[in-house]
Structure 1
Amino acid sequence: MLIRSEFDIQFQLPAPITMLAMLDLHPSVDALAREVTPLVVEHVDGGQMSRLVTEKYQDSYGNRCSRVHLPAGAVRLSGSNVVEIDGMPDLMKIDAQQAEVRDLPAAVLPFLLASRYCEVDRMCGLASDLFGSVPKGWLLAVTIRDWVHDHVSFDYNSARPTKTALDLFTERVGVCRDFQHLAITLTRAMNIPARYVAGYLGDIRSPYAGAGDFSAWYEVFLDGRWWTMDARHNHPRIGRVLMATGRDATDVAITTTFGVANLTHFYVESNEIDGDGNLILPQGHPEASIAA
């Protein structure tokens, strides 16, 4: 299966600023990439567009990052890629075992701890009350995932950048990142390492759900490896394309600006294509209806 993903994000800047961006594919996806246009940053001045130099680096989690100094005015960030995947839904292993903390690899221990949006230390008692009787391992992980899915409503209008897992537990309404933060927090509180994931997830072989966006999900560490979980879409999905992993949304923000940046345009799409590059649109997509 071929999946084409692309983005076009534009800002108006009242003054020069520096920006960090995390908009390239994760290095682990390189073997699947068939076409890649890495992040391009351009400045628009009087109708003339000039490309800006970006500094590339990898963070402590192995994510590809960019730092760029932006002049005042209009700025455009864009990129695209085509990856080839097996087209299978998220893997499951119902007998996956949970390791004792003393036996976990040192590299996954940070994913048991509290972080900016995941107040594990404040929710351990709550997690124990809710899930203490559930057998450890895969069943515990999916029980937490499904509990969050069943007890939280999705609403774009409820989004705010400061909302934490504890806020969501209280308010019970949020966007995809909020679902994942609460699930991650409760999972860590039950001694299963959990990490936040950002990437593309289009409505591939699923009913059309609206305009494209970047997506968040999370992974749990069982049986010595990471497994995909998604508290918003609590059923296996096809077509996830990985961009970055971290402790929570702080570590994988698509852009971080050190100054004022007013968003003026936001476009993200991720769709299946055929061998000739033609879009295979999901059921219910407006363009698919027109074509029919």
Structure 2
Amino acid sequence: MTAYRDPFGNWCSRIVAPQGRFVLSTDALINDSGAADVVAPWATQTPVENLPESTLVYLLGSRYCETDQLTEIAWQRFGSAPTGWARVQAVCDFVHQHIKFGYQNASRTRTALGAYNEGQGVCRDYAHLAITFCRCLNIPARYCTGYLGDVGTQPPYAPGDFAAWFEAYLGERWYTFDARNNRPRIGRVLIARGRDACDVALSTAFGATTLEAFKVWTDEVVAD
């Protein structure tokens, strides 16, 4: 196994898989502050001409985020909303209500436009649609993949899974937003950032493979 940095700065591992059945696994103990996602209603929207060059790629369309087909809809729905944090939150509120969540609705080919038209999906679809609307509104937005446990939420808890959310650039920094849950959460474990899910798949195979099963666990460990 070898490791490298991708163009987005993510740490990646590369492996030549043996023929036959094999298992990949990892486990880690994460030290989390216990603080929820930052909420900053005062965060302003940076005029597009003043955005840092490093953020401009997150204004462009990408594999799952068709800005060219959703720009008119974005401005019709959110063009009159206050700028900055309030506008991103308005996007999240709409996406949260518009998409019906269900694991049975997962599709690896569904794009932001598909999620908008179908009104169903999983966390990555919420993120893709919110990201696309933000980009259409000249707000840089990038896709985040990782783990999100149930810390701070009420049971019963669903089986563990990978999670997706996004970050929007406001003022002079990136802020976390989550259109799927649409409220501050505790204990996000960020694995990678990119333009959309195509850039940061948890695994990519070059050849014939069959995924038999996967298990995700994010259990809270109470300090002594």
Please say whether Structure 1 and Structure 2 have the same fold, judged by a TM-score greater than 0.5: yes
Measured in 2, the distance between the counterparts of 1:110 and 1:80 equals 33
Return the alpha-carbon distance in structure 1 between the equivalents of residues 125 and 223 of structure 2: 36
Is 1:159 the counterpart of 2:106 in the alignment?
A: yes
Partner SS, residue 219 of structure 1: strand
User: Out of 145, 151, 168, which is 1:220 matched to?
Assistant: 168
The 5 Å alignment of 1:53-132 reads 54-132=1-79
Pick one of 232, 236, 243 that aligns with 2:191. Answer: 243
- Structure 2 gap segments, 5+ residues each: none
Measured after TM superposition, the shift of residue 207 of structure 1 is 2.2
Query: Is residue 2:201 matched to residue 1:273?
Result: no
Task: Give the 4+ runs in structure 1 shifted more than 2 A.
Answer: none
Post-superposition offset of 1:168: 0.6
Q: State the one-letter code of the partner of 1:88.
A: A
Q: Which amino acid aligns with 1:145?
A: C
Partners in 2 of 1:205 and 1:252 — Cα distance?
A: 27
> Is 2:200 the partner of 1:200?
no
Q: Distance in 1 between matches of 2:184 and 2:133?
A: 21
What is the alpha-carbon distance in structure 1 between the residues aligned to residue 105 and residue 208 of structure 2? 22
Q: 2:83 aligns with which of 128, 133, 136?
A: 136
SS of alignment partner, residue 78 of structure 1: coil
Cα separation, 2, equivalents of 1:254 and 1:232: 19
Give the letter aligned to residue 233 of structure 1. N
Q: Which amino acid aligns with 1:268?
A: V
The 3-state SS of whatever aligns with 2:219 is strand
Question: TM-score normalized by structure 2?
Answer: 0.97
Indicate the SS of the match to 1:241.
strand
Q: CA deviation at 1:265?
A: 2.2
How many residue pairs get matched?
223
SS at match of 2:54: helix
Ranked by relative contact order (alpha carbons within 8 Å, sequence separation 6 or more), the top structure is: 1
Matching of residue 175 in structure 1 with residue 122 in structure 2: yes
- For residues 162-184 of structure 1, the C-alpha deviation after alignment (integer angstroms, 9 at most, x for no partner) is 10000010000000000100000
State the Cα deviation string for residues 13-40 of structure 1 (Å, max 9, x = none).
xxxxxxxxxxxxxxxxxxxxxxxxxxxx
SS at match of 1:184: helix
Structure 2 counterpart SS, 1:170: helix
Q: Does residue 234 in structure 1 map to residue 187 in structure 2?
A: no
Shift of 1:272: 1.1
- Alpha-carbon distance in structure 2 between the residues aligned to 1:253 and 1:269: 18
Higher strand share: 1
**Quick one: which of 137, 141, 144 aligns to 1:190?**
137
- Specify the alignment match of 2:202 in structure 1: 254
Deviation at 1:80, TM superposition (A): 1.0
Q: Whole-Å Cα distance in 2 between the matches of residues 214 and 155 of structure 1?
A: 14
Q: Deviations over 1:140-161 (max 9, x none)?
A: 0000011000111001111111
2:46 & 2:87 partners in 1: Cα distance? 13
Question: Which blocks of at least 5 consecutive residues in structure 1 are unaligned?
Answer: 1-53, 277-292
User: More deviation in 128-137 or 260-269?
Assistant: 260-269
Return the TM-score normalized by structure 1.
Answer: 0.75
